Amino acid sequence: MAKILVTDPIHEDALRKLEELGEVVVLEDADEEEIREHVRDADAWVVRSGTRVTRELIEEAKNLKVIARAGVGVDNIDVKAATERGIIVVNAPESSSISVAEHTMGLILALARKIPQADRSVRRGEWDRKRFMGVELAGKTLGLIGLGRIGQQVAKRAKAFEMEVIAYDPYIPKKVAEELGVELVDELEELLERADVVSIHVPLTEETEGMIGEEELKRMKSSAFLVNCARGKIVDEEALIKALKEGWIAGAALDVFAEEPPGEDHPLYELDNVVLTPHIGGSTGEAQRAAGLIVAREIERVLKGEIPENVVNLPLAGVPDDVRELMEVGERLADAAAQVLEGRLRWVQVKVGGELEDREKEALKRAVLKGCLDRVLTEPVTMVNAVDVAERRGIEFEFTVSDELEGGEVEVVVRSDEDEISLRGELVEDRVYLTSVNGYEVRFKLSGPTLFVWHVDRPGVIGEVGIILGEHRVNVAAMEVGRRERGGEAIMVIRTDEEPPEECLRAIDEVEPVRRVELVRC
């Protein structure tokens, strides 16, 4: 009989389902030593966000076949350690989509009709109807930042309210938006300027952190509302407070905060044009039940020897070490290339220096596509679902064996309608080194904030860029210049100790010989 360890609370219906599969041991609020004792002979392990599944605990688990996260995020699980041990990690990515979408609509209605303020007023014995004049949603424009699973559910509900829906998402094909009756816009600025309600549905990444700041808030209509049910740090809270106080926007509704819970004296508490909830977007009985039942079914599939549907990782048992190295290089190069690429990703090519077996090609393909998409999409992108995610977005893939590459080298080429980026690299002493950018030879370790600066090879350019970085107190850790001929086009690759601010990047871009500057978070 299988032993199933449960170390966080899950829905009782899910527990009953698990009991049909084997012996269920429930350890809520257990310490690490108690978990260690029981995980040693467990076949399956169910967690939510409370338990940290560390490498040390995974290495203790001699029989473990599957780790199941009854929810979406797996940041509390050492997925790499599980992968190395051949342990499948599953989650329930769609379990809370409807709950979060409904909560989003509830917050929009609360803002539009001033429902929380009116409730408080009536409880105080007041009856001031004029004070709570609201606005209709019908005919208004909803701007969705992110059109993934949750964004799509919000769009469907907003259409039922007769709202016009526009969306900004560089990784969703227009066909998907058209099927939803959503207009896809190319620039975030356009969405902010047109929308009466802006709702955020993107993951928190280095790229999206602080994406809604003072400049973006000033672009919004003074009558517009901002809603955030995604992650708190996507919005600059200081800028938002200023916007609400000074009337740049009419109001905001937040289910998430930069720090959770917020401090007792948080300035948002003093504002009457803001609605606040304690990160409860996915907190419904239906969502919790769905998450538990989804992972219970996934565990059943694994225990029967079947392939589960929501696999987060791809166990690498049997994949040779040299192919694993190619996969690591390919994923890192793809991540960097996708950050540099301008426009919507349409096409990906991976080149290697030698022949691979079909399953090895497939593993490398999945690693590269994961690198291209994982940082920028709301839904988790793994080596298991990367191909499906890319196909749904109309991204084409090509695999090539090139005589120009050595055995351990990988080249990743990404293309949009208006841009193409090619990065080549290799693994040296467990470090990924960049060896070529669009054919310009460099020798550069991919690590930390990195600037790619295309420029004309003229005396003084390096100095000007260095001065600008110094003026913004950004320290240069390493630099490499690649060129084909003296006085021609060249590329400067600069690693810095801290991430250059936006005004620093703009100043570099204004240097006359500089053609383009891009920040890559490695």
The residue among 80 and 7 whose pLDDT is bigger is 7
Find how far residue 130's CA is from the centre of its chain. 43
Tokens matching residue 274: 């803001």
Position 380 pLDDT exceeds 80: no
Q: So what's the pLDDT on residue 508?
A: 96
Q: Which of 69, 149, 231, 424 is catalytic?
A: 231
Position 317 pLDDT exceeds 60: no
Single-letter amino acid code for the residue at 447: S
How many residues are listed for the chain in this entry? 522
**Bridge-partner residues for 420, per DSSP?**
415
The residue among 403 and 375 whose pLDDT is bigger is 403
Q: 152-187 pLDDT, tens per residue?
A: 999 999 999 999 999 999 888 888 899 999 999 999
Q: So what's the pLDDT on residue 68?
A: 97
Q: So what's the pLDDT on residue 378?
A: 64
Q: So what's the pLDDT on residue 379?
A: 63
Q: 475-485 pLDDT, tens per residue?
A: 999 999 999 88
Is 231 noted as a catalytic residue in this protein? yes
The residue among 349 and 359 whose pLDDT is bigger is 349
Q: 460-512 pLDDT, tens per residue?
A: 999 999 999 999 999 999 999 999 889 899 999 999 999 999 999 999 999 99
Average confidence (pLDDT) over 421-433: 92
Q: Which of 40, 266, 279, 324 is catalytic?
A: 279
DSSP SS3 for 223: coil
Phi-psi region of 368 (alpha: psi -120 to 50; beta: other; left: phi over 0): alpha
Is 260 noted as a catalytic residue in this protein? yes
Single-letter amino acid code for the residue at 155: A
Q: Which of 34, 178, 259, 260 is catalytic?
A: 260
pLDDT band at 318; cut points 50, 70, 90 = low
Position 41 pLDDT exceeds 80: yes
Q: Which residues contact 188 (CB under 8 A, 6 or more apart)?
A: 145, 168, 211, 216
Single-letter amino acid code for the residue at 416: S
Position 386 pLDDT exceeds 90: no
Q: Dihedral, CA atoms, 323, 328, 330, 331, nearest 10 degrees?
A: 140
DSSP 206: T
Is 279 noted as a catalytic residue in this protein? yes
pLDDT band at 315; cut points 50, 70, 90 = low
Q: Dihedral, CA atoms, 135, 138, 139, 142, nearest 10 degrees?
A: 80
Q: 16-30 pLDDT, tens per residue?
A: 999 999 999 999 888
> How many angstroms separate the CA atoms of 480 and 493, rounded?
5
Q: Out of 218-232, 271-285, 387-401, which region has the weakest mean confidence (pLDDT)?
A: 387-401
pLDDT band at 515; cut points 50, 70, 90 = very high
Q: So what's the pLDDT on residue 52?
A: 92
Q: So what's the pLDDT on residue 288?
A: 92
